[in-house]
Amino acid sequence: MRAFFYVTIFIIKTNTMNFFKNMLSSEGKVSSKRFVTFVCLLFMLIGYTSNLFWDFTIDNDLFQSLQWIVMAGLGFTAAENFSPPKGVVGDDGTESDQEES
C-alpha cells in the first residue's frame, strides 16, 4: 500500500511539473512574459481570495495594475501565435526578421 502511495505522489508531482513547464515555456525556453503574467495572476487570485474570505482589503490601484499586467501579458502571448515565424516570406515578398523573446 505504501508503494502505491509513493508511486501516485510521484506521478502527480511529475505531471504537475510538466504542466507548469509546458505552460511557462515557448519552444523549450521559459518565456518571461508568461512567467510574469502567471505570477501577477497568482497575486490577483491571492488578493481576491484574501479580500473575500478574510476581509483583508487590497488597494484598488494595486489590484487594477495587476489586472492590466495580466491582460497585456495574455494579449502579447496570444499575439505571438498569430505572427509569422522567423524567416517566413510574407505576401509582399519581404522576409520576416522578428526575433523570438
- Over residues 71-94, the pLDDT tens digits come to 898 888 778 777 777 666 656 656
Does 91 fall in a domain? Answer: no
Does 89 fall in a domain? Answer: no
Whether residue 43 has pLDDT greater than 80: yes
Please tell me the total count of domains within the chain.
1
Whether residue 14 has pLDDT greater than 80: no
Does 67 fall in a domain? Answer: yes
Of all residues in the chain, the percent with pLDDT exceeding 70 is 65
Does 19 fall in a domain? Answer: no
The x, y and z cell numbers of residue 30, run together, are 521559459
pLDDT value at residue 88: 63
> Taking all residues of the chain, what is their mean pLDDT, rounded to a whole number?
76
pTM: 0.60
Q: Is 92 helix (H, G, I), strand (E, B) or coil?
A: coil
Q: Give the DSSP per-residue string, 55-91.
A: -----HHHHHHHHHHHHHHHHHHHHHHHSPPTT-B-T
Range of the domain at 66: 26-82
Does 48 fall in a domain? Answer: yes
Does 92 fall in a domain? Answer: no
Does 30 fall in a domain? Answer: yes
Whether residue 101 has pLDDT greater than 50: no
Does 15 fall in a domain? Answer: no
